[in-house]
Structure 1
Amino acid sequence: MMRQFHAAAVERRKYFKGEISSHPMEAGWAGEAIFFLIVEELKGKDARVNAFVEISADGINWIREGAAFPVIDQPGHYFCKVSHFGNWLRINGEISGQNAEVKASVHLHLKS
């Protein structure tokens, strides 16, 4: 049987301040997921991004799943894998530092 695969650009080159939060995605059919966080710009003194995966029963109320990105303090490509998540997934996190701002894209790859 052929495995199913889906790649979604959840956020594209978006500016975030204070919080980074992606649109939620329904992924209940998939057995595994990989979030990619592509940071193009990170501005501000001591700017850092602490991002993590969240799950939800209803797509409205969110709980930290446990998987997290490394602390991001420079532009680059980062990823985070998840394998037990129910149906709803998203990335959430805090942007810290003086006048901190990040320009980032979020991609989600799902596989059955």
Structure 2
Amino acid sequence: MFHVIPRAEQKQSPNRTILFEGGKYGTPVSLFLMDAEPGQGPALHVHPYPETWLIHSGEAEFTVGEQTLIGKAGDIIVVDPGTPHRFVNSGNTRLEMTCIHASDHVIQEWL
């Protein structure tokens, strides 16, 4: 068995981000496909599972716990469960990034 979700059927938010939650497809993984303009990014939040980011293009400033770091195209960054985090497109081009959630649905608490 396999599933294909055509691009036309993928939910896209006004800021061009796509959310995929794997539960209804039988996979324990969910993800956001980010396509953010400079200055865009989510507020501080936390998940009860790890999150992995893969930056395809652009750069982002991440706040992870008490630390701040810059991620660039090609970087993979992993944050532990329960760690407050946020990121913002800190470059002058679009940020294209995959945010992988180790859960069949996104569980997110805004701080």
Q: TM-score, normalised by structure 2?
A: 0.49
| Structure that is richer in strand per residue | 1
Query: Going by fraction, where is helix more abundant, 1 or 2?
Result: 2
Which fold has the larger relative contact order, with Cα–Cα distance below 8 Å and residues 6 or more apart in sequence? Answer: 1
TM-score by length of 1: 0.48
